[in-house]
Amino acid sequence: MTPDPATPCAPSARPYLLAATILASSMAFIDGIVVNVALPAIQAQFHTGFGVLQWVVNGYALVLGALILMGGVLGDRYGRRRIFISGIVLFTLASIGCALAPAAGALIAARVLQGLGGALLVPQSLAIIAAAYPKDVRGRAVGIWAAAAALTTVSGPILGGIFIDVLSWRAVFWINLPLAVIAVGLTLRFVPESHGAVRGATDWLGGFLVTAGLALVIYSVSELPEAHTGRGLLTGLLVAGVLTLAGFVFHESRSRVPLVPLSIFRSRVFSATNGITVGLYFALSVVFFLLPYTLIQVHGYSGLQAGTALIPFGLVMGLLSPLASKLGERWGLRATLSSGAGLVTAGCAAFAVVETLGTVDYWTGYLPALLLLAIGMTISVAPLTTAVLSSVSDGESGVASGINNAISRIAGVAAVAAAGLISLVSFPYYLGHRLADAGIDAGVRAALLADASRLAALRAPDQVPAQTAQLLRGLVLDAYVGSYRTGMAVAAIAAIAAMAIALRYLPARVTPGLLRK
């Protein structure tokens, strides 16, 4: 199928078209991060373990990451405007389902549908802009869209904190309704239909295999630490997930029109760049999953305070990104990415080191660690994009960018699963030792360890005297801090791996002839 000529977009309509893409994308971006601030409130209402909270995050991120490439293909084939509106409608209906969820299982199911809606709408946003704007002004439009994305990254946790403190965690989902109504109205009125070049049949089987394989692996890994029975079944699901992913690779290698053309990974630099992407976004996602929960549950931050504490990260990325691009040109690819990964490593390590039981001063403890993380990611993002696009032919640039985007999201899914696994394994270990060292009664120890999946939300049994309950609360928080520091250490190791890949496999400078090897 060759691309159909798009219905011309009048210059006067372009600002409204841009507003529609920004509003719709903002819903997906905000809901990807704001839920992290809401996790303690969700846990308190549904009385769930930490493993369930993982799926409130990963139910959305897994489907979005696995199917975002498929969403782009569907837009090219069936019409970007049509798929864009379908994604907004599905995302909004799922948001209503999240807001009305009577139980954790219903919330997770609605989050999965949100991820599907996001996978439909997100890839259409830039495609619609590219089709509507001439090349000479397209860069400015994309820049406005990107700036709006950065703004939502900064404002999302703050808005979430306000809603949680003043109203309820459910309000973070209701806010999508007016945004969606405006976005759909603008799209119907101002966005013309457009198609892209699509050859052959849509790779439905590839999309199913990668989603099912990732879901089986992530589910089994997440559930194994809490499984007192049925470990054999979970192990079987893990094996089935690995085999399904292997089947995906085999299918893609034989498909005429694969969802992920494996030949693109023959470029050593492309493969290395995606390896660096995994390491950096894994580390970042561990921090943003564990930090808000820790601020609220251990240090007593309100939802608004926890959201506000994350503002410097978005501000640094928004303000320093233009300078970071120039830095990459001056230092070169290898030096810039290895330095960025080194700063991310230092930031993760700093989060682990400064965290102690009791009050940690934000300005001297958390802020320096957050700034290291933010600066490291800021100077890495632009060179990563440059390396991805320069390591393939011009005709493969769209596919390469899409694959790298999907990999960054899947790395975040793996990070949340790993953080949960580490927490659910290490917390009972630390807690058991601390309870034994404190001479706590065996019956009380058993009761606490039986409910250890609640992590920092764990409370002493009702029959325990107040003084003992206070002691137990301190031991629980101390044990959680130990598991938190272990998680941050693993995040630092992931960033170190990214730095090692950059030093070993990347060329010093961006030269297309060298990169396409």
Measuring CA to CA, how many Å separate 221 from each of 108, 215, 440, 501? 17, 10, 32, 26
Please write the tens of the pLDDT for every residue from 113-160: 999 999 888 888 877 887 777 777 766 777 677 777 767 766 777 777
Question: How far, rounded to the nearest angstrom, does the alpha carbon of residue 400 sit from its chain's CA centroid?
Answer: 19
Domains 7-197 and 264-422+486-517 share a fold: yes
Report d(CA 443, CA 457) in Å as an integer. Answer: 20
Dihedral angle, C-alpha 171, 174, 175, 176, nearest 10 °:
140
Residues in the chain, total: 517
Report d(CA 276, CA 381) in Å as an integer. Answer: 11
Instruction: Give pLDDT, residue 455.
Output: 77
Is residue 199 very low, low, confident or very high in pLDDT (cuts 50, 70, 90)? low
Please write the tens of the pLDDT for every residue from 19-45: 898 888 888 888 887 888 888 888 888
CA diameter of the chain = 76
The number of C-alpha atoms within 13 Å of 466 and in the hemisphere containing its C-beta is 0
Q: Is the pLDDT of residue 282 over 90?
A: yes
- Mean pLDDT over the full length of the chain: 82
Is residue 447 very low, low, confident or very high in pLDDT (cuts 50, 70, 90)? confident
Report d(CA 463, CA 375) in Å as an integer. Answer: 49
CB neighbour class for 278 (10 Å; exposed up to 12, middle 13-18, buried from 19)? buried
Most confident of 198-212, 272-286, 308-322: 272-286
Instruction: Give pLDDT, residue 1.
Output: 45
pLDDT-wise least confident of 34-48, 49-63, 73-87, 451-465: 451-465
What residue has token string 């058993």? 446
Percent of the chain with pLDDT strictly greater than 90: 19
Most confident of 152-166, 342-356, 373-387: 342-356
pTM reported for the whole predicted model? 0.82
Instruction: Give pLDDT, residue 354.
Output: 82
Query: CATH number of the domain at 7-197, please?
Result: 1.20.1250.20
CB atoms within 10 A of CB 325: 17
Instruction: Give pLDDT, residue 396.
Output: 62
| Second CATH level (architecture) for the domain 264-422+486-517 | Up-down Bundle (1.20)
pLDDT-wise least confident of 180-184, 211-215, 256-260: 256-260
Report d(CA 389, CA 366) in Å as an integer. Answer: 35
Is residue 356 very low, low, confident or very high in pLDDT (cuts 50, 70, 90)? low
Task: Give the list of residues 6+ apart from residue 335 with CB closer than 8 angstroms, or none.
Answer: 508
Report d(CA 287, CA 418) in Å as an integer. Answer: 12
Give the domain ranges of the chain: 7-197, 204-254, 264-422+486-517, 428-483
